[in-house]
Homo-oligomer: A and B are copies of this chain.
Amino acid sequence: MSYTAPLKDMLFNIRHLADIDAVARLPGFEDAGFDTAQAVLEEAAKFNEGVLAPLNWEGDRNPSSFKDGEVTTTPGFKQAFRQFAEGGWQGLQHPVEFGGQGLPKTIGAACIEMCNSANMSFALCPLLSDGAIEALLTAGSDELKAVYLEKLVSGQWTGTMNLTEPQAGSDLAMVRSRAEPQADGRYKVFGTKIFITYGEHDMAENIVHLVLARVVGAPEGVKGISLFVVPKFLVNSDGSLGARNDVHCVSIEHKLGIKASPTAVLQYGDQGGATGFLVGQENRGLEYMFIMMNAARYAVGVQGIALAERAYQKAVQFAKDRVQSRPVDGSIAASAPIIHHPDVRRMLMTMRAYSEGCRAMATVAAAAYDASHHHTDAEVRRQNQAFYEFLVPLIKGYSTEMSLEVASLGVQVHGGMGFIEETGAAQYLRDAKILAIYEGTTAIQANDLVGRKTARDGGQTARAIAQQVAAAEADLRAQGGDHALAVAQRLQAAREAFLDAVDFVVAGSRTCPNAVYAGSVPYLMLAGNLVAGWQMGRALLAAESCLAKGEDAAFMQAKIVTARFYADHLLSKAPGLRNSIVEGADSVTALALEAF
């Protein structure tokens, strides 16, 4: 059950698809060129392969446990988190002024993928800390920053996001937790939060909860929600830990997967009120939370890629080892390793193509994020921002749905052994299912894609992306050869399908919202498929160019046929999705409610 970081693929993407040289020309990232990327990734691979990966299975067998208000994490996790913190991994992308390393997301995202491949349950803790850091950086007062940021960035403390309540899941308008202003400017926070990842644990000295609640008298709905910092332990003026705050874990969930990651029910204010500190202004909590959410959504998409990669590696290993039946082509006259069977190849190639396609998409998005924050030209920043924001729901929605399919194929490659828990393949399937749910279900991502990302600008960003795809098709045709031409053809069909869907979404989002939202998830899957397939097309071109220069022929040839597979077997789904979206809306909502 070992894991080997796909460094070659990551560095190929960083160099050829994300153009790390351009990232390193951005102010603040002067030292973040290819060599830095390589050095950081190699170091990350060592840590994740050596320290975190071996604990993944143990976390599933021996999950976090709850007793008397306290959570004990899987043996080894506490020590591993210390190593993680000491290695500086929590601060990778965070500002130098708070102790971080200030690296671009283009590099950081690859490290986060490795961490999640190695141990997704573990990686959730730093993932949530990242969100808390992001929110404080954007909206926190200087005082809050001074008290909390350095310790969060160093990994001495960890962070959480507290949104969900029993009656308020996707629907944050229904948040009922309340905050009462105090004379000293602080607030007393009351309420019950559920599904709080690492809401209680023993891996760090303090836990910094970021909590959505309504200030007494605030407007109803999402416009009356504020964001508060509620630390587990209050912090003295010298930075030392003070009194225990009135937030307590009352239970943790018994879940299908990510079992090592404690999912807490937190009770605020049962003993007079938890002391909270307002982040930014009252009633702007949702806006700030979206900062955390968008960072987290990208990261969850990366979790999908990470899980798919790990499941793929495990399936490949099994397929090479397991001897069963003769190959149909008679090439071996005895029972052979099952990797010689075409359907096993099809499954492995599907897993591989999905992982590589989504990784390419995420890497390119990361570079756009870096440019959107650091480029000197406002128009370039704006364009990159629009591109990045369009991609976030695709990365979250498409990469997580694909990870479920990939993990399921991983079990399938193992046959009956896959169904036995000790084999380890089933854990990835169980773990994967949460990815399409938390930080906004696939439907919530699809709503975002339809409403904010497509309809709001009249389809402008979507069509600009299609134009870039068309340019890649032209490049592929110019390149020539079977593979490039086949990829160009599938890309064209997928792009045309996408454009039809964009027209449908833009035309109908106000006038016939039921019809548009009936196809919202298929639209997301079509868009994600196209963008990942486009990046695979670009990867093919880059690989051809490297081949011509004599670079790493084995890797480049593999990239080319993987791109071809992506086009033939995954992009080929696009026209069918177009038909579902554009022509199939009526039948989604036609059944009478009573008939269900």
Q: A residues within 8 Å of B by Cβ? A: 164, 167, 169-171, 173-174, 194-195, 253-257, 316, 319-320, 323-325, 328-330, 335, 339, 341-346, 348-349, 352, 404, 408, 411-412, 415-422, 426, 429-430, 433-434, 436-438, 441-443, 446-447, 486, 513-515, 517-522, 554-555, 557-558, 561-562, 564-565, 567-569, 572-576, 579-580, 583-584, 586-596
Whether the pair B422, A254 counts as a contact (CB closer than 8 A) is yes
Whether the pair B170, A342 counts as a contact (CB closer than 8 A) is no
Contacts of A328 in B (CB 8 A): 513-514, 517
Whether the pair A335, B173 counts as a contact (CB closer than 8 A) is yes
Known: A404-B408, A412-B437, A438-B416. A324 touches B573 (CB 8 A): no
10 new A-B contacts at CB < 8 Å, known A174-B324, A404-B408: A170-B325, A328-B513, A343-B446, A416-B438, A419-B437, A555-B595, A564-B587, A568-B579, A568-B583, A569-B584
Contacts of A574 in B (CB 8 A): 576
Distance of A431 from chain B, by nearest CB (Å): 10
Distance of A456 from chain B, by nearest CB (Å): 15
A588 partner, pick from B349, B421, B518, beta carbons under 8 A: B349
Whether the pair B572, A342 counts as a contact (CB closer than 8 A) is no
Complex Cα–Cα for A449 and B327 (A): 17
A415 partner, pick from B169, B513, B514, B517, beta carbons under 8 A: B169
Distance of A445 from chain B, by nearest CB (Å): 10
Whether the pair B580, A561 counts as a contact (CB closer than 8 A) is no
Known: A171-B324, A411-B433, A412-B437. A514 touches B329 (CB 8 A): yes
17 contacts between A and B (CB under 8 A): A170-B325, A194-B416, A254-B422, A256-B419, A319-B596, A320-B596, A345-B591, A346-B519, A352-B596, A415-B437, A426-B433, A561-B587, A564-B586, A564-B590, A569-B580, A572-B584, A575-B575
Complex Cα–Cα for A387 and B522 (A): 34
Known: A421-B256, A426-B256. A442 touches B588 (CB 8 A): no
A437 partner, pick from B416, B438, B588, beta carbons under 8 A: B416
Chain B CB within 10 Å, residue with most, of A328, A417, A421, A564 = A328
Whether the pair B420, A254 counts as a contact (CB closer than 8 A) is yes
Distance of A109 from chain B, by nearest CB (Å): 24
Q: Name A257's closest neighbour in chain B (CB-CB).
A: B419
Q: Name A312's closest neighbour in chain B (CB-CB).
A: B596
Complex Cα–Cα for A344 and B520 (A): 11
Whether the pair A324, B256 counts as a contact (CB closer than 8 A) is no
Complex Cα–Cα for A329 and B516 (A): 10
Whether the pair A342, B588 counts as a contact (CB closer than 8 A) is yes
Complex Cα–Cα for A573 and B576 (A): 5
Complex Cα–Cα for A565 and B590 (A): 9
Distance of A30 from chain B, by nearest CB (Å): 36
Whether the pair A580, B557 counts as a contact (CB closer than 8 A) is no
Complex Cα–Cα for A167 and B590 (A): 52
Distance of A224 from chain B, by nearest CB (Å): 15
Whether the pair A589, B416 counts as a contact (CB closer than 8 A) is no
Whether the pair B254, A421 counts as a contact (CB closer than 8 A) is yes
Complex Cα–Cα for A534 and B452 (A): 39
Contacts of A345 in B (CB 8 A): 518, 588-589, 591
Contacts of A564 in B (CB 8 A): 586-587, 590
Whether the pair B558, A595 counts as a contact (CB closer than 8 A) is yes
Contacts of A342 in B (CB 8 A): 514-515, 517-518, 520, 588-589
Complex Cα–Cα for A419 and B587 (A): 29
Whether the pair B572, A253 counts as a contact (CB closer than 8 A) is no
Contacts of A565 in B (CB 8 A): 584, 587-588, 590-591
Contacts of A343 in B (CB 8 A): 443, 446-447, 517-518, 520-521
Distance of A475 from chain B, by nearest CB (Å): 20
Q: Name A561's closest neighbour in chain B (CB-CB).
A: B590
Whether the pair A443, B580 counts as a contact (CB closer than 8 A) is no
Complex Cα–Cα for A404 and B412 (A): 12
Contacts of A517 in B (CB 8 A): 328, 341-343
Distance of A368 from chain B, by nearest CB (Å): 27
Whether the pair A412, B441 counts as a contact (CB closer than 8 A) is yes
Contacts of A411 in B (CB 8 A): 256, 433, 437
Distance of A536 from chain B, by nearest CB (Å): 12
Known: A346-B521, A587-B565. A419 touches B433 (CB 8 A): yes
Complex Cα–Cα for A213 and B102 (A): 66
Distance of A432 from chain B, by nearest CB (Å): 10
Whether the pair B591, A349 counts as a contact (CB closer than 8 A) is yes
Contacts of A330 in B (CB 8 A): 513
Complex Cα–Cα for A167 and B442 (A): 41
Distance of A491 from chain B, by nearest CB (Å): 13
Contacts of A320 in B (CB 8 A): 596
Distance of A63 from chain B, by nearest CB (Å): 12
Whether the pair B437, A348 counts as a contact (CB closer than 8 A) is no
Contacts of A593 in B (CB 8 A): 339
Complex Cα–Cα for A568 and B589 (A): 13
Q: Name A489's closest neighbour in chain B (CB-CB).
A: B583
Q: Name A313's closest neighbour in chain B (CB-CB).
A: B596
Whether the pair A595, B335 counts as a contact (CB closer than 8 A) is no
